Amino acid sequence: MSPTRTETPTRTRIQNQNQNQTGPITMRAIQFTSFGPSSVLEAAELPRPEASPGEVVVRVAGTTFNPVDATIRAGFLAQVFPVDLPHVPGFDVSGTVVAVGGGVAGDLIGRDVVAFLPMTAPGASAEFAAVPAELVAAAPASIPLADAAALASSGLTAWQAIVEQAEVRPGQRVLVNGAGGGVGGFAVQLAARAGATVIATAGPRSRDVVTAQGAAQVVDYTTTSVAAAVTEPVDAVLNLVRTSPEETAALVALLKPGGVFVSTTTPGVVPAGSDVRAVSLFVRSDAAQLAELVNLVDAGELRVDVSARYPLEQLAEVHALGEAGRLRGKVVLTPTHDGEGGADR
């Protein structure tokens, strides 16, 4: 675990608030009580979670917006992600442990942590969140605590694609399709760090960022066909964009024999007789992998590029911007806690 941050609020203050209060201890949160457009997201005063056995309660510093948040909120993924209503969204969390449940080491209290929460559980769009202790990793000490939330699910998705599935090695060529997004930013960096030559597709607003992240070639998908721009075959394709059957086939066709097509979106179809591999990736929470990502951040080898920060109260606006394609990279949301004039650091 990393050193405890000195600026985090003390337990004493939280305990004092509790002592002065009769009745249930509450917190501010954003939730939706029915599926629908972004306007179903509303502020609510909810009971503050208590730590059940095996859990910690985190005082939330940051959470994020991910594209699937909007899909779940709209009710389009009820079969895949059966959330109970009302639902507090936000499965990325960073913050400070303020309570532990049975079976969890008490010395976690006061630690700054980061986690990728179970996607159907009550989320981190709140002042406090209950988190299974086994999912928690120490937060990076070298970046603002709120920003650390941006590392969780997107960093893990990139790790599981580039390191675990594609096993990218020095000298390989890797195409990241959709590099301008939250996952793509980490994937480009991890592939470049592994010694690969990275080709990225990105629009004009993301060109400079993905270049700084280590892309050797950037193909502007708004003007250029990636299949035409990539003239030499690649060892791995990471597809982060919903593609038509023709587009998917064109990406698979860029692979060398023995290559791998990893997709978080449209599954790859491998032509009969070909020896390329297609992987449909479903990210899983993994505290050990998250700890590896944190170590890279603190070693200065992985950047957490946060493109915008919003107060949690603006979550509905953030969902609307995300659905309109107007968010770039990772966006962090920060709750305001009692006694604070503004969001956390």
Ligand X SMILES: NC(=O)c1ccc[n+]([C@@H]2O[C@H](COP(=O)([O-])OP(=O)(O)OC[C@H]3O[C@@H](n4cnc5c(N)ncnc54)[C@H](OP(=O)(O)O)[C@@H]3O)[C@@H](O)[C@H]2O)c1
Tell me the pairing of strands 92-100 and 136-138: unpaired
Please give the helix or strand (H or E) that residue 108 lies within, else none: none
Any idea of the CA torsion for 238, 240, 241, 242, to the nearest 10 degrees?
90
- For ligand X, which is the closer residue by CB, 116 or 128? 116
- For ligand X, which is the closer residue by CB, 231 or 282? 282
Counting contacts by CB under 6 A, is residue 63 touching ligand X? Answer: no
Using DSSP, state whether 59 is helix, strand or coil: strand
Binding string, 99-138, against ligand X, x = CB under 6 A?
----------------------------------------
Taking CB under 6 A as the binding criterion, the range among 64-72, 81-89, 266-274, 306-314 that sits at the site for ligand X is: 64-72
Counting contacts by CB under 6 A, is residue 198 touching ligand X? Answer: no
Task: For residue 25, give Cα distances in angstroms to 11, 21, 299, 339.
Answer: 15, 7, 40, 15
CA distance 269 to 227: 16
Taking CB under 6 A as the binding criterion, the range among 5-13, 74-82, 182-190, 252-260 that sits at the site for ligand X is: 182-190
Counting contacts by CB under 6 A, is residue 264 touching ligand X? Answer: yes
C-beta neighbour count of 105 within 10 angstroms: 10
Counting contacts by CB under 6 A, is residue 203 touching ligand X? Answer: yes
Number of residues that bind ligand X (CB under 6 A): 26
Counting contacts by CB under 6 A, is residue 177 touching ligand X? Answer: yes
- For ligand X, which is the closer residue by CB, 55 or 92? 92
Identify residues 279-318 at the interface with ligand X (CB under 6 A).
281-283
Counting contacts by CB under 6 A, is residue 221 touching ligand X? Answer: yes
CB of 284 to ligand X, least distance (A): 8
Any idea of the CA torsion for 112, 116, 121, 124, to the nearest 10 degrees?
50
CA distance 307 to 299: 21
Using DSSP, state whether 295 is helix, strand or coil: helix
CB of 178 to ligand X, least distance (A): 4
Identify residues 134-173 at the interface with ligand X (CB under 6 A).
154, 157
Counting contacts by CB under 6 A, is residue 248 touching ligand X? Answer: no
Closest CA to 307 of 208, 233, 220, 226: 208
- Cβ-in-10-Å burial (0-12, 13-18, 19+) of 31 comes to buried
Which residues are at the interface with ligand X (CB under 6 A)? Answer: 66-68, 154, 157, 177-178, 180-184, 201-203, 205-206, 221, 240-241, 264-265, 281-283, 328
